Chains A and B, each alone.
Chain A
Amino acid sequence: MNDLPTLDWPTAVVFAPLAGAILAFAWPRRAAGIGLASVLLTTAAVAALALRVLAEGAVVTRLGNWGAPLGIDLRADGLSTLLLAMTAGVGLFVSLGALDSYAPARADERTRRYFWPLWLLLLTGLNGAFLSTDVFNLYVMLEVIALAAVGLTVLGGGREAVRAGLEYMYASILGALLFLMGVGFVYLELGRLDFAGLIAAEPAPALTAALALMIAGLLLKTALFPLHFWLPGAHANATAPASALLSGLVVKVSLYIFLRLTQYMPLPDELLVTLMGTLGAGAILWGGIQALRAERLKLLVAWSTVVQIGLIFVAFARAGQVGLAESWKAAALLILAHAVAKAAMFLSAGRIKDEVGHDRIQDLDRSPIRPTLAQFTFALAAISLIGLPPSLGFAGKWVLMEGAMAAGYWHWVGITMIGTLLSVAYFSRVLAGFLRFDRLRTPVAEHQGWALADTAPLVLALAALSLGLVAAPILAFMEIGYPFGATP
């Protein structure tokens, strides 16, 4: 646009965490400092990018100045930028929480040294995926994310974590390879890989096959029921900051790509849209039942992720009259709400486990130690996940219900209600334990609240609660740059 040597913000958003990862790995003694600095830089770059998108509309960088389809373009429109901002915000506070979780007194040196490079590589992959406009590039980004995420899953090093990490790895590779096979069919049919090519393409059997393969891979990676089998183990057995990143951010990437692809290559049949919604409903019910039965706090939180992903798919399928054309906003809002609230919840669950010494739900009310602030944070996050006003979760559900009612999908509204009631039920199991003192045999020990380490999850939980008040501007921001329908 102008020849001033202004920084190219999309590139900066990808390269800042990459530089941090390189430095943090090469210089392990300074990993935490480098990591935090790099996350801060990335956040600043995202903020600058968001301001430009707000001022000028979608920002496009033609890497190498070749231009798609020969080269690869990065493109930041409203939706991309919103997800980048979500990643930066959640990432920043999880990083702050990690400073405490992996402090010398709590974690061994290895964990501390390896968390930062893995997390920064993950951040590189996440940011790259949100900016990508090329399906093969998305495949490579998915693999960057997969390897870093598996590394984070097994950071604790226990047997259960490694076993869950291996299952996660198999699912992740298979999902990526299904996606790659789909990319192959796209190239066979179109001879190009960029989004503009997909938008312009006529329907063809090969593109249907490509879409089916890519969607199958993405559903496996995002753990939509019944492909969720790998998720609870992986998310429940990781260390708290890693769980927060995995549940809050990593599963959202596949959802985001799904959202883009289904807009650019519409599902050929309304029946498939219904199938997506039905699987989502299955996730809500099955995940809800499993959360009710879970014995450990982190496992319950992990099952709640399965439920929330189901809810997002119900939104995809049913928050609008015609196919997916209108419903993406409800889905995007729910993605955002879940990311912030779930990160807060996993971090606070980790704090509770650290303080109490275990996370058996049944025995929480027998603990003489009550980490008050962490419990309070957990409750706030639960409010957003249940979807009570004024939280962001409420705003997302509201848009979903409004769309579904306007379209006359009454039984889908019913399913959303049942999901809400289930979530009230399983979160009550935990919250009741926090508030009961009558099963206590010994006096309550010294007050354990108000630790500095609780700040990060508390800020996230408050954000999840209060962002609902600015849902309207967020919805308006999402539409900047016409995310769908128009060619870049």
Chain B
Amino acid sequence: MTDPLLIFDVILGLAIVALAVAVLAMHDRFAMIVLFIVFGLLSALAWVRLSAPDVALAEAAIGTGLTGALLLTTLHHIRATPPAPVPVPAGAIIANLGLCGLIFGGLVVAFLSTPLQAPGLALPVAQNMEASGVAHPVTAVLLNFRAYDTLMEVVVLLAAIVAVWMVERGTAQAPSPVMGEIYRGFARLALPAIVIIGTYLLWVGAYAPGGAFQGGAVLAAVGLLLLLSRLYRPQPAHRPLARLGFVLGTAVFAGIALLVASGGRVPFEYPAAHAKTLILLIEGMVTISIAVTLAALFHGREPEYASVSENHK
């Protein structure tokens, strides 16, 4: 236990757990979200310690930054009504506390029994890296070995925007684009993060043609700032273009996956000579779709003619 980094890990781990408790216990909802953002950033830091920079980036940009923005804009929308204090019976709390304690105990026992630092699929990935068409292992898994998963993940994102556009409609007021203190508070948090993440992505791009999701998130952040600063206002006339942006990634990804399947090849089997180009093309289109979709998820509602007048008061 002389390694100072291990002490750092212990402190970081404890801080993360404490923050998780604090997020749920914090009475004020704004403070709750801010604590959650701190929690997310510390988790990302822990993942850097576990040599998972790609994951840390995705968590910081998407899981924390954009999720935090979504939470804040929702809070802004609903904060007119303070939460009604619904008393939870003490018995229910104790019972659930006991249940979750048991689950925690059981999972810890199970976790300690696993072969930590097992090789997993690292070896097959390394053996097939040559054939994958990319240099970065995580990108190879995402866009080649398990490309089907990644396609379905983009489909999830598409389902989300379809559902969100469907849900929010009618007479409700759109969230005000100018968000005052919340916006400024968030911008202070987010802007440096965007700069840092953007720079890192540029740097990492030199040897890893990866980061569709992280890149998309950074672009989405730009979209958020455009929306918040009213530099861009969604118009009903822009809907066809937006829809095209949402489906672009899925369509190109699925299209390429199917089109390569000829001459004895199966779907998703990129011809070796073109693998790199095709993956780059997919990544580019997916990045655009992710950026547009995430920004639209933040904006929330489908821009409709009926609600235009409301926005102009």
Contact = CB atoms under 8 A, between A and B. Distances in A.
B121 A8 contact: no
A298 B144 CA distance: 46
Contacts of A141: 152
Interface in A190-226: 191-192, 204-206, 208-210, 212-213
Is chain B's interface secondary structure helix, strand, loop, or mixed overall?
helix
Q: Which of B118, B149, B269 has the most chain A CB atoms closer than 10 A to its own CB?
A: B149
B162 A117 contact: yes
A26 B244 contact: yes
Interface residues of B, number: 56
Contacts of A62: 266
B113 interface: yes
Interface in A8-32: 8, 11, 15, 18-19, 21-22, 25-26, 28
B114 interface: yes
A118 B264 contact: no
A63 interface: yes
Interface string A109-142: 0100010011001001100100000101100110
Interface stretch (A37-45, A69-77, A305-313, A398-406): A69-77
B246 interface: yes
Contacts of B125: 70
Contacts of B156: 140, 143-144, 147
A407 interface: no
A213 B119 CA distance: 24
Interface residues of A, number: 60
Given A110-B166, A191-B119, A151 B145 contact: no
Q: Which of A187, A192, A209 has the most chain B CB atoms closer than 10 A to its own CB?
A: A209
B120 A25 contact: no
A85 to B, nearest CB: 22
A485 interface: no
Given A71-B145, A148-B163, A63 B247 contact: no
Interface stretch (B82-90, B103-111, B176-184, B208-216): B103-111
B167 A64 contact: no
Contacts of B170: 157
B268 A64 contact: yes
Contacts of A125: 155
B110 A144 contact: no
B261 to A, nearest CB: 6
A63 B261 CA distance: 10
Contact of B167 (A121, A162, A191): A162
A189 B254 contact: no
B225 interface: no
A151 B250 contact: no
B313 to A, nearest CB: 24
Nearest to B304: A110
Interface in A151-166: 151, 154-155, 157, 162
B192 interface: no
A188 interface: yes
A376 interface: no
B77 to A, nearest CB: 14
Given A70-B145, A114-B166, A140 B246 contact: no
Given A66-B128, A121-B162, A191-B120, A136 B247 contact: no
B124 interface: yes
B79 interface: no
A443 interface: no
B167 A206 contact: no
A69 B268 CA distance: 16
Contacts of B155: 18, 121, 124-125, 144
B250 A72 contact: no
Contact of B149 (A61, A136, A148, A157): A136
B115 A189 contact: yes
A154 B155 CA distance: 20
A155 B167 CA distance: 8
A150 interface: yes
B280 interface: no
Given A18-B155, A22-B250, A62-B266, A137 B148 contact: yes
Contacts of B269: 63-65
Nearest to B151: A18
B263 interface: yes
A96 B251 CA distance: 26
A147 B160 contact: yes
A144 B152 CA distance: 8
Nearest to B112: A205
A61 B266 contact: yes
Contacts of B163: 118, 147-148, 150-151
Given A144-B155, A155-B166, A188 B111 contact: yes
B51 interface: no
Contact of A121 (B107, B128, B159, B265): B159
Nearest to A11: B267
Contacts of B106: 209, 212
A208 B43 CA distance: 27
Nearest to B110: A209
A163 to B, nearest CB: 12
B72 interface: no
Nearest to A121: B159
Contacts of A28: 243
A144 B124 contact: no
Contacts of A71: 145-146, 268
The 8 closest A-B pairs by CB, nearest first: A209-B110, A151-B163, A191-B120, A64-B268, A147-B159, A114-B166, A188-B114, A205-B113
Given A22-B158, A71-B145, A162-B167, 8 more contacts: A22-B251, A25-B158, A26-B243, A63-B266, A65-B265, A114-B162, A140-B156, A144-B159
17 contacts: A5-B262, A8-B261, A11-B267, A22-B250, A63-B147, A70-B121, A71-B145, A114-B165, A114-B166, A137-B149, A140-B156, A144-B156, A157-B169, A162-B167, A188-B118, A191-B119, A209-B107
